[in-house]
Structure 1
């Protein structure tokens, strides 16, 4: 019986080559896209699932949103250890940001060769209870509990020593030396942890103010994390702070897709990207399935006599349904094989697009899932055509009285309309996404990114002083360097300092006001636009911060947003006025007002900023911004590295163009746009494929009508338009469906941005015209051929 079904299916494929090829092509493309996206989604959802007791591990975060700031995933480790007194907490683990807090040295030397210990973190001795690490040599627990000890990742050991058997080797730094006591395998890609080296760090039990650690807690089973977070908040925060700051416990398994703080160890993914990719892949499979249903039903009349003869010979409806379903599954399985070949062909490009290293393991549960999905698609897509074709009446078929059913026509038109709706919506979405991305790339930031070279994470004492330090002077002397300025903040990340301001009229600000410390060259170095007053200047020594008995007096340059918040529409009126901090410890004399400066990530950048001259003691790290002649960039970078190595024993510093740092912020949205563009192209292609198949059937069905019209004098173009009209009406209906749904979904996505474009009418018109034109051209290519056929060839037997 099975062999009979197979032989019949192969005979049907041979007799209907075009129908077979179109179905295989459509399903192959849809399944290939679905496999790629499923692989990506599987990887994104697997992050940190390999860690011990991952479902019960939470990271502590501090919520400063009531103060107008974000949620920060940094906390004090000493305080967090007190939580072990609660029965809900089984264990606490800490990773300390030593590079930014200067609690350990990252620049070391070995045999007179300098190296930077990349991604260096301090870890507590119980690290293996929270992170699945494979120790290649030594002992991690010993290393993280012994002063001046270091644990290297395999790649770092190979980079520095050229081998991994390095236990007992020493690395020298300016304050002493480290002894290597452990080597561990590199971390897997699917984890939010991103350390490459680990160092012992001593936590002072009396230091309860320094927030420099990622703190992880393993909670007892069935613990209400939200309720326990409130308990911890009440313990660690007292008085007014209790109403302004709270603790949150973020599930370890959710961090990759939900954590968006600029202090993350590495850039995470986004639920939005996963959902968009999965949604688009499902749409592609649906479109391919719709094509299969449409073309199979359209070709049903060609198999009507076969059904009639089979029924006359005693075949049951169940047998016929089984026959047609087996053909459908066979097509689907063949499409799956071709889809897997396409996946292997395009996987490297897809990896580059999503910034992952994905690999398909067909001998796994994922491979089994591919087969199951292919069979399910074959069954579901072939179910309606199978029942439809098998329901033909043998008597009517064999007597030549076969009429097309209204249900079949309605199904074909509905599916084609839905396909066109999806195509219109995706075109609108992709164009809008690219317009938004272009808008963000061209936003006026308030500072110049061109010809700005940034040296990040330098020790404050090395570059931040009232009189230029030796390092700053040497940097200025490099050929091609026009200007050097110093900040305590990375412009493309988060502002670290904030205060509660009291305006000159005595009113207090509603939330916290961010501030950035700079040297005298703020305006010139960043290319700020001065709207009133002046920038900081060495001619005015009082601009630089002065401390007397715990009270600070400092010059301030404010943005126009701050001036408006203080109640001054005429910016010149605030010049010379004093802004104080609540408590009166800071007096900030306004010397200038500049156009708004956007600092931070794209979606929630701050523009209400106070720049303070010389308030550098609040940040251990600084950022040097150099205005350069970009033609000399390679030489400048080389000389900067040489100066820092010789003057400060700093090796492999972070040097980037400011413009590149800003572009990095847009990578996530650029990735979404590219994915949507590719899937839009595939959706339009599959829609055209379905339209081609139906148009081919329609032209064959209407050959006699076309011939008669030609005999009566109709032109070829008028005949083409008559045949295309049926499809263009469906496109019009699809446009009416697509417009409101797309407007809502795209508007919801744009709402995530503070700076966003408005949805343009022309985009909707272009999408409609594009789909209508593509449909007309597809139909016309077939209809024109039919209209060019001599009527005598069609009507000679009539």
Structure 2
């Protein structure tokens, strides 16, 4: 019996090649995209689940009440880990995680920048990173021992075993030898924590002074802990207030400084911009992508349903005969569902091939390492898709056709036109609605991102190169910055005499939401004033193309203007200074200083944020004397900003490399472009825009195939009417217009509903930008006209061809 079901299904599918082909192509496209997206969503939701006892592992989040604000961050004081370990019996293990980097020798002559994590000895007891060589209890005990991944081992030692071998790295003023004590398997792609090298956190002595290590108001890196069991999270959080009262004594005010525990399962997916040391994904992105995949599959299923309804008259006679021969309702339903199942399975095979072809492009677009592995979860997803699509595409035709009464069908007086046409038109209109909703959303996103790209940020980013200079670690932050600038100045001096260089400046921060450091000080009335700061030198203002509206620029000579500050217009407004020149910060703790200049407001943050008060300073010592809070951005090493002359970049780059080799012969040369740094801030939304655009293209293609098939079915069912109208004198254009009217109405309804809804749905997306740009109504009008023309072309091509048939033949056939 089962064999007969499949035989009849294959025969019916082969007989109607056009409809079967359209269904296969539509479902294959939908499944190809759907598989990629659903596997991607499952991949993102699987982050960090490979750790043993992952439910017991938590990251500590710091909450600090400040005057005029509330600060939340995953950066924690160094003293946090040992304090939690000693104060809470529920805590089994703790570890700090402080990221840094140092110059390391690859061989006797070549160095490179080597990133690493400074962690506690319990790090590998908490996290289940596979250790290939070494004992997890001992590999991190030695201060001068390191644990590296397979990839790093191959880079330094080739195929030889790295255990016991040494890597020379610059820590502090000198190079130190670190012995490899452990070898880790390369980290899983679904690990939130990514690193190349681990070392004992005693090495922070090279860069963090003892006072800062014991301070509750200086933060460095993240802190993780593992509890005896997951259910003890609440009891630990309840005891934090008691702990803070104990460690801070009279300084502590109730509720002003607390910690909470974040399960590692919640680290990867968050809407917050506060990620800590990991790169997270917004859950909204996953919902949007899953919604796109679902709607593309839905459009393909609608094609299946509308074509099945369109063929209802032909299949009705088949149903009548089979019911007369004894087939019951259940058997007929199963027959139609078998056809839908075979079509879906065939489409799935083609879709999986398409997904494999699209995978490299998808990974490049989202900067992921997704692999289409077919484990139990993936097989379950594929099975679920087959069942869902079979039900969505085949259920209505199966139940509708199987319920027909054989007497009416065989007598030829069956009338199913009204219900059939109403549902079919509604489904086609829904297809157009989804397609135009995606297209309109793409238009809004493209228009917004183009406005972002062309927006005047208040500085010149063209032909500006950022050259990273090795930092000089020191337990004194002031000494580290000062020494780093002195080192960077050597390279700047080598460049300013070159004809290829227009200007060159020094800076700690470049551009981005966390680039400039967040600082604050108490005003005379006691309220807290928060702002952003950047330490600069040389011709920074000139190299950046900032406009001075009052006063003057810094003196570019080293040591000059050490007590001078330059502020932006927003800072002056916040202080209510009509003439800021010569003013001083309203806090007596600042060492002698003065405001020497005001620059026109510029966007140091991305355009997701409003412009904030900014201070530019040359001397960190003068600046640090007056502040009481400081949140350090991602950058701490000095950089040289080089503004080039002309457009010959290759010769410009060669000159930079030559001068670098002359000044720093043992250091690796690395550079980036300022405009690329700016553009990097919007990568996530650029990727989303590209994905929505691709989805819109696929949706339009599937909808076009559906419209083509439905027009063909509609015309094929009315060939006798066309022949009679031609005999009575109707023109080809009037007959063509008769069919176009039906489908144009559907298109117009889809467009009119989709356009305003796209504006409504995209409001929350565009609201995240400080600079907003909506498309004009003319753009939406052009989009609507394009949709109408699109429908006219498809329907007219077929209707006009039908009108060219000889009416004698069509009437004779009837």
Aligned to 1:177: 177
| Separation of aligned partners in 1, 2:376 and 2:598 | 63
Query: In the comparison of the two structures, how many residue pairs are matched?
Result: 772
Q: For 2:638, what is the secondary structure of its paired residue?
A: strand
Is residue 687 from structure 1 mapped to residue 706 from structure 2 by the alignment? Answer: no
Deviation at 1:254, TM superposition (A): 2.3
Q: For 2:460, what is the secondary structure of its paired residue?
A: coil
Kept after mapping to 2: 8 A contact 1:449/1:658: yes
Which of 523, 527, 533 is residue 515 of structure 1 equivalent to? 533
Of 39-48 and 710-719, deviating more is: 710-719
Aligned to 2:77: 76
- Aligned ranges for residues 12-411 of structure 1 at < 5 Å? 12-63=12-63, 71-84=72-85, 85-99=87-101, 106-109=102-105, 111-116=107-112, 118-172=114-168, 173=170, 174-202=174-202, 207-209=213-215, 210-219=218-227, 220-224=229-233, 228=237, 231=240, 234-235=244-245, 239=251, 246-258=258-270, 264-265=276-277, 267-362=279-374, 364-411=376-423
CA-to-aligned-CA distance 1:275-316 (integer Å, 9 cap, x gap): 111110010111111111111011011112111111122221
Deviation at 1:45, TM superposition (A): 1.2
Deviation at 1:98, TM superposition (A): 3.2
Deviation at 1:28, TM superposition (A): 1.3
Kept after mapping to 2: 8 A contact 1:464/1:622: yes
Is residue 565 from structure 1 mapped to residue 574 from structure 2 by the alignment? Answer: yes
Which of 613, 620, 626 is residue 608 of structure 1 equivalent to? 613
| Separation of aligned partners in 2, 1:668 and 1:177 | 40
Kept after mapping to 1: 8 A contact 2:490/2:663: no
CA RMSD, 1 decimal: 2.9
How does the TM-score come out when normalised to structure 2?
A: 0.88
In structure 2, runs of 5+ residues without a counterpart are 472-480, 625-631
- Aligned ranges for residues 573-652 of structure 1 at < 5 Å? 573-581=579-587, 584-586=589-591, 588-604=593-609, 606-615=611-620, 621-629=637-645, 630-639=649-658, 641-643=660-662, 645-646=664-665, 651-652=667-668
How does the TM-score come out when normalised to structure 1?
A: 0.90
Q: For 1:567, what is the secondary structure of its paired residue?
A: coil
Kept after mapping to 1: 8 A contact 2:657/2:669: no
| Separation of aligned partners in 2, 1:176 and 1:297 | 77
Query: Using a 3 Å threshold, how does the CA distance of structure 1 residues 774 and 319 change in structure 2: closer, same or farther?
Result: same
Query: Using a 3 Å threshold, how does the CA distance of structure 1 residues 640 and 662 change in structure 2: closer, same or farther?
Result: farther
Aligned to 1:495: 516
Deviation at 1:68, TM superposition (A): 5.8
Kept after mapping to 1: 8 A contact 2:584/2:594: yes
Which of 674, 681, 684 is residue 658 of structure 1 equivalent to? 674
Deviation at 1:463, TM superposition (A): 4.1
Query: Using a 3 Å threshold, how does the CA distance of structure 1 residues 729 and 229 change in structure 2: closer, same or farther?
Result: farther
Q: For 1:95, what is the secondary structure of its paired residue?
A: strand
Kept after mapping to 1: 8 A contact 2:443/2:775: no
Query: Using a 3 Å threshold, how does the CA distance of structure 1 residues 623 and 68 change in structure 2: closer, same or farther?
Result: farther
Deviation at 1:683, TM superposition (A): 0.8
Query: Using a 3 Å threshold, how does the CA distance of structure 1 residues 338 and 797 change in structure 2: closer, same or farther?
Result: closer
Query: Using a 3 Å threshold, how does the CA distance of structure 1 residues 720 and 182 change in structure 2: closer, same or farther?
Result: same
Aligned to 1:552: none
Deviation at 1:244, TM superposition (A): 6.1
CA-to-aligned-CA distance 1:300-337 (integer Å, 9 cap, x gap): 11112111111122221222111111111111111111
Deviation at 1:627, TM superposition (A): 1.7
Query: Using a 3 Å threshold, how does the CA distance of structure 1 residues 455 and 260 change in structure 2: closer, same or farther?
Result: farther
